Structure 1
Amino acid sequence: MGREMNTGHFIAGEWCVAKPDSVIPVENPANCEIIATVPAGGRAEAERALDAASEAAKAWARTPAVERAAYVQKVATLLRERSESFAETIMAEQGKPLTQARGEVAGAAVQLEYHAQWARRIEGDTVASDNAGEHILMLRVPYGVVVGLIPWNYPLTVTARKLAPALVAGNTVVIKPHEVTPLSALRLAALFEEVGLPRGVLNVVTGTGLELGEALVGSSKTNLITLTGSVRAGREVMRRAADHISQVSLELGGKAPFIVCDDADLDYAVERAVFARFRNCGQVCTSNERTYVHHSIFEQFKEKFLARVQSLRVGDPRNDPDVGPKVSRPELEKVEMMVARAVEQGAEVLTGGSRMEGAEFERGYWFQPTVLTNLTPSMDIVRQEVFGPVASLLSFSDFDDALKQANDSDYGLSAYLFTRSYQNVMRAMNELEFGEVYVNRVGPEAINGYHTGYRLSGIGGDDGRYGFETYMRKKTIYLSPN
């Protein structure tokens, strides 16, 4: 797993060792081995972390933005120097294949580098006053204390995605990584300690959402909560945040449609559809969850898609396969139940459909790359986010039908369209009801874009200018000569 690391809470610049009877085991999903233990923090640890962040907030906000950004840039440099070690940590705790783990480390470094560049781009406005000699200024100022709740599917990149803009904007931060994958965030905190970040500016505490997360979100000391996670978690965060009217930014997953028109480059569309479905074992909020293919090319697409899925290599992440394990037993069982429910409702399994077999897969959380067809829009597998290596193939009659089926979802994060038709592209731009629309390409999203969703996919967003502004609020100043 790389370098030796601290596995205690990081609070006020110090590492707090866990009590032996109050720890959470961290499991390697490829083989079920316990690779570390971290503290099972609760209300006391939440309060200590929030107190540390609150005490550091004023001095950090007064620190020039270029100085704040310098810490972030230094950590980006260290992260790149130690990228292989961090990739090993991600493989061990999350099960991401080697190349994909390396990509996550690179993505985290880019997040840090990009947001460090915003130090000289924090801008306000002036407007004309109705009163003689008066000036009206609109400033952008930090919120104060930001709580970042991190998912398990991209534990390092999402941590960087939240803490980098928050710190550069002048906020202090408390990060709660997911209890299944806490090690990446702890290692990142150690890099900030190494570059001399002032005490209390960044704190990382570990524990469950029900105890530690609830305490962080429900505190009056928390000014902004940023979550990437499930709809269930988002609802709970909003409920608790309402007690103190804390600001929230929520990215809650998706059910992305992948539309393939009859004029698309078929081989290219197949390759991209497979990548967008099975990357990170399908555990990506922008994954291709619903593949819609024009009826005239459906059989041809299905044949090519099925062959490509059956060629995917599944195995130990260290051997750099195409698909690794599911992240945990509950996640494996959830996908297994969803496929069983789909079959019960009439779906046909073209390949896969169950756990992997063989000596290599006796331990760990392995599910076969799966393709389902004979689906209807009302089936649970078409309505609910799978978040696993299960592809759903559906057909559409014309572009009106494609748009209708694509928009028929409770989610609204990402959508994909493969076509050569200018008219189809223009209609998709105007009529697809999603925060991101990809035309003839798939993700990942651009760091200078804006990652945002509609409906159950959340409110607020990350990346780019609009994402950076999430971490600043506005203050209006009236300067009168009298």
Structure 2
Amino acid sequence: MNSSRELAARALSGGTLPGLPNGHFIDGAFRAGAAGRSMASLDPGRAEPFADFARGDADDVDAAVQSARRAFETAWRDMAAAERGRILMRAAGLIRQNAARLAVAECLDSGKPLAEAEGDVGGAARAFEYYAGACDKLQGDSFPIGPTYLGYSLHEPVGVTAQIIPWNYPISTAARGIAPALAAGCTVVAKPAEQTPFTALMLADILRQAGLPDGVCNVVTGTGIEVGAPLSAHPGIDHITFTGSVASGQKVMRAAADHVTRVVLELGGKSPVVVLGDCDVERALDGVMGAIFENAGQICSAGSRLIVERSLHAPFVETLCRRAEALSIGHGLRNPALGPVNSAEQLARISGFIDRARDRGAEIVTGGATTTDPETGKGWFYRPTIVDNREPDDELVREEIFGPVLTVQVAEDADHALALANDSQYALVAGIYTGDFSRAHRFAHRVDAGQVFINEYFAGGIEVPFGGNRKSGFGREKGLEGLLSYCRTKSVAARI
């Protein structure tokens, strides 16, 4: 079996990964779209096409939803929970067996460094493993309503679920939604982002190989307008899980409202990383670097706001700049420290933020410019950027940039840092570095965020519920709470 490094070298020299799927996955098989159209997927590291895939429409969505409905009613809903678990566990094993190929496909599609793609694939396998073990643990409660009554609850699968998957973490986000939906007994119609379609298609085929009945997991590829919108508005969808921008999430909510469809939304973030003067400085430096420069900052939960106590501010930012300037940049398949951003549109968006900040007189202490792969002169790259000492009303503090841009705010003390952290329209995650454990937990209780990291950014895993408040969305994914998102509770009360 080829390693990911061997496959990466071949893909880098050949410009593609042979054998990628090019149809929708509907009713257990790949098939061409109803209209027979296709579109190109672009390699961000080269800014060039590397493969074609099916460009779907409302007819393809309808076929997938009908397939999912049949499979729900005839094959999956009533399958023994333990058997569902065995299928998901086999899928986890097959993901690991195919990890190299999945990682290279993810790298080509999204642009991220190969090591990050390998970690995402491992996380996807772990998600299926985790929910495989939860299938036969999903149980209701009994209610003490008196000696002449029996009261109990059932967790029933909600039905046909839509999974609308973003381009920044394609296989990770697909797995964290599809695995609990299947574990609960639901069926799936997934729509990956048009920038990154391939690993969702590959995952659906892996599930088929694991024994998933036909129609239980379907994938329709194409644009948000032509596939995502009709999927969100389809009357046969019982639940939507959406990850993406606030504006797109609002459109999904409006479409879902027509049929009173359940929705879980994971939207944007402008997450604070608080660094206090009593912290372990080396650990904090490592954490802040990873929080903003992993995946070129294209993470909803990226630590894009550094709130540093004044006593530590100058030396901390100076060291961050040196480390940022030392990051290697290049095509993701060469496994650099920093890969490209995903598209020309995203590169222009990042540049616009920094150009406007420069016009306002912002202190851009490092970075602040586009660049290319130093080996080829190609690709959509932005230099790791740090902008110092911005006020709370500054655009760089208020708005999600979704790129390798860190905005620094200076706090006088821990209370001031908390106030700055909470001064945002977003509330997805927050981090804090401090040597005072009591202070850290007081911060965790008082900060408005769906998840809090203490002394390690991105701590946790599939076991820990994830989601936001305010404009970061609502509902939770991951953990057992994520499993319950795909259930409806039925209460029974009987006179005996």
- TM class, shorter-chain normalised? over 0.9
SS in 1 for 2:44: coil
Contact kept? 1:346, 1:374, Cα under 8 Å:
no
Instruction: Determine whether 1:271 maps to 2:280.
Output: no
- Take 2:237 and 2:372, find their aligned partners in 1: how far apart are those partners? 47
Instruction: Determine whether 1:157 maps to 2:172.
Output: yes
Indicate the residue corresponding to 2:297 in structure 1: 282
Indicate the residue corresponding to 1:36 in structure 2: 51
- Take 1:74 and 1:321, find their aligned partners in 2: how far apart are those partners? 33
Query: In the TM superposition, what is the alpha-carbon distance from 1:18 to its structure 2 partner?
Result: 4.2
- Take 1:113 and 1:103, find their aligned partners in 2: how far apart are those partners? 15
- Take 1:268 and 1:477, find their aligned partners in 2: how far apart are those partners? 52
Q: 2:480 aligns with which of 429, 452, 465?
A: 465
SS in 2 for 1:200: coil
- Take 1:9 and 1:370, find their aligned partners in 2: how far apart are those partners? 39
SS in 2 for 1:451: coil
- Take 1:262 and 1:193, find their aligned partners in 2: how far apart are those partners? 53
SS in 2 for 1:452: coil
TM-score scaled by length of structure 2: 0.94
Indicate the residue corresponding to 2:129 in structure 1: 113
Indicate the residue corresponding to 1:83 in structure 2: 99
- Take 1:37 and 1:3, find their aligned partners in 2: how far apart are those partners? 11
Contact kept? 2:72, 2:187, Cα under 8 Å:
yes
Indicate the residue corresponding to 1:403 in structure 2: 418
Q: Alpha-carbon deviations, 1:192-235, whole Å to 9, x = none?
A: 22223211111000111112111111111100000111111111
Q: Alpha-carbon deviations, 1:140-170, whole Å to 9, x = none?
A: 0000100000011110111111111101110
Q: 2:238 aligns with which of 223, 243, 248?
A: 223
Instruction: Determine whether 1:348 maps to 2:367.
Output: no
Q: 1:197 aligns with which of 193, 212, 226?
A: 212
- Take 2:112 and 2:186, find their aligned partners in 1: how far apart are those partners? 31
User: What amino acid is aligned across from residue 172 of structure 1 in structure 2?
Assistant: T
- Take 1:406 and 1:18, find their aligned partners in 2: how far apart are those partners? 47
Q: Alpha-carbon deviations, 1:450-472, whole Å to 9, x = none?
A: 10211111110111111111111
- Take 2:360 and 2:442, find their aligned partners in 1: how far apart are those partners? 33
Contact kept? 1:12, 1:200, Cα under 8 Å:
yes
Q: Alpha-carbon deviations, 1:2-45, whole Å to 9, x = none?
A: 56232201111121124796212101000022121112111111
- Take 1:319 and 1:418, find their aligned partners in 2: how far apart are those partners? 32
Where structure 1 has 5 or more consecutive residues not aligned to the other structure, the ranges are: none
Between 9-18 and 268-277, the greater mean CA deviation after superposition: 9-18
Q: 2:331 aligns with which of 313, 316, 319?
A: 316
Contact kept? 1:448, 1:463, Cα under 8 Å:
yes
TM-score scaled by length of structure 1: 0.97
Indicate the residue corresponding to 1:446 in structure 2: 461
SS in 1 for 2:205: helix
Report how many aligned residue pairs link the two structures. Answer: 480
SS in 2 for 1:323: coil
Q: Alpha-carbon deviations, 1:258-308, whole Å to 9, x = none?
A: 111111111221121011110011111111110011111111111111111
Q: 2:378 aligns with which of 357, 360, 363?
A: 363
Query: In the TM superposition, what is the alpha-carbon distance from 1:91 to its structure 2 partner?
Result: 0.9
- Take 1:34 and 1:479, find their aligned partners in 2: how far apart are those partners? 62
Instruction: Determine whether 1:134 maps to 2:149.
Output: yes
User: What amino acid is aligned across from residue 104 of structure 1 in structure 2?
Assistant: D
Contact kept? 1:57, 1:172, Cα under 8 Å:
yes
CA RMSD of aligned residues (A): 1.5
Query: In the TM superposition, what is the alpha-carbon distance from 1:134 to its structure 2 partner?
Result: 2.5
User: What amino acid is aligned across from residue 427 of structure 1 in structure 2?
Assistant: R
User: What amino acid is aligned across from residue 108 of structure 2 in structure 1?
Assistant: A
User: What amino acid is aligned across from residue 208 of structure 2 in structure 1?
Assistant: E
User: What amino acid is aligned across from residue 103 of structure 1 in structure 2?
Assistant: G
Where structure 2 has 5 or more consecutive residues not aligned to the other structure, the ranges are: 1-15
Instruction: Determine whether 1:245 maps to 2:260.
Output: yes
Indicate the residue corresponding to 1:335 in structure 2: 350
SS in 1 for 2:370: coil
Query: In the TM superposition, what is the alpha-carbon distance from 1:445 to its structure 2 partner?
Result: 3.5
- Take 1:360 and 1:270, find their aligned partners in 2: how far apart are those partners? 29
User: What amino acid is aligned across from residue 338 of structure 1 in structure 2?
Assistant: F
User: What amino acid is aligned across from residue 92 of structure 2 in structure 1?
Assistant: A
SS in 1 for 2:481: helix
- Structure 1 pair 236–445 and aligned structure 2 pair: CA distance change class (3 A): farther
- Take 1:478 and 1:329, find their aligned partners in 2: how far apart are those partners? 58
